[in-house]
Amino acid sequence: MEPFLRERFGNASEPHWAGREARAGLTDARRRAAGALGCRARDIVFTGGGSEADNIAVLGRCGAAQGRVVSSPIEHPAVGRALAALAERGLEVVLAPVDAEGVLDLEALADLVRPGDRACFVIWANNVTGVVQPVSAIAELCAERGVPLHLDAVQAVAGVDVDLAALPGEVTIAVAAHKLGGPKGAGLLAGPGIGSLCPCLHGGGQERGLRPGTEDVAGAAACATVVERAQTAEAHRSLLRELRDQYESTLGERVEGVRFASAGAERLPGHSLTLLDGLRGDTLVALLDREGFAVAAGSACSSGASDPSHVLQAMGVDRERALGALRISLGDLSEPAHVPALVDAVERAVVPLRAAAAAL
C-alpha cells in the first residue's frame, strides 16, 4: 500500500503524470486479482468492502424491486437485509432451505429456481458455521435456467480454491480484504456477471459505473495482494485444519455437553462453531477475552444481539443450545500452542458458568 499513500498518491482518473502513476497501480491490482480468481481483469470492480460488494450485486440485479429472486435463510446480512428491504417494495424473495448441517438443499433449490428469475443469492462459505456450499452444482443449475448467480465469497477466499472460469453463467462474487489479512474498507466484486449489473450508485463512472468515486488505489493494491496470497496458501490451510481438528477433539474429550455445529459438512479449515449446553456463549466470550482470546458468540456482525444466530435457527438448532454458541477462527496469528491454552481456558470457564446458570 505504501507507494500509493506516498509518492504515487495521484487520482487514477486524471491524465497527468500523478494520475498515470496511480492508474498503472490500479491496472496492475486489477490484473493480479483477476489472475488469482480466474476471471478477466475487466470483470474486477474494487469496492469499499464485502458488504458494499454484496449490496451492489443485489441492487444491480433487483434495484427496481420487481420480479422474483431465490436465496437462502443463512445469508450474511449484507445480502439478507438488502433483499428484505427490496421485498418491502414488492420484490418476491423465495428462500431455499438448508439441512441440519447448514448445507443448501439442492433438490429444493432446483424446484425453486425458475427461468426468468432476477437472480439467485448464495453464501459460498458461511460466516457463522464455516460450511462451504456446493457452488459448482448451484452455478450449473442457475446457468441452465439463465438465472444470474451471486456468491458471497467473503469467507470462502481464505479457505477454498476460487476459479470463476470454472463456474458457468452470469456469476459474481464478493470479497473483503480484511478477511485475508488486508486493510478494512477494501474489497471487490468480481465475475463475468459484472457486465449485466445495472448501476445503483451514480457519480463519475469509475469501476465500470458500478462503484463511482475516486479509486482507493492503495486499498486495491492491498486487496489484490492478499487475494493472491490466500489462493496459494494450501499448506497454511492444512495447518489450520489440523489445529481446528485438534481443538475440537480435545475439547470434546474434556468438556461434557459439547457439540460442534456442521461437523459433518465441508467447512473452512480454520473455522469452528462450538455449541455448549447450559451456558451463554456471550458470557463465555467475555471470560475468554480476559485471558487474551479474541473469539465470538456466533456471528461477529451481530455479536451485540441477544437472539440466537439466524443461521442456527435455519438449521433447526433449538434456542437454548444456539445461545451457547462459541465461534473460533484460526488464522495467520494462530500458533499450535494456542489450541491447548484455549481448551484449558474454556474448561475453566464452563464449570462456574453452568453452575451460575443452574442457580437462576
Residues with a catalytic annotation lie at 301
Contact 327/91 with Cβ under 8 angstroms? no
Determine the residue type at 157.
V
d(CA 98, CA 106): 9
Q: Is 18 exposed, middle or buried (0-12, 13-18, 19+ CB in 10 A)?
A: middle
Residue pair 328/345 in contact (Cβ under 8 Å)? The answer is no
Residues 6+ apart with CB under 8 A from 316: 100
Q: How far apart are CA 140 and CA 180, in angstroms?
A: 28
Which residue shows C-alpha cell 450508485?
Answer: 201
How many CB atoms are located within 10 Å of the residue 57 CB? 32
Contact yes or no for 232/35 (Cβ under 8 A): no
The CA distance from 231 to 143, in Å, is 25
70 - beta bridge partners?
Answer: 94, 120
90: left (phi over 0), alpha (psi -120 to 50) or beta: left
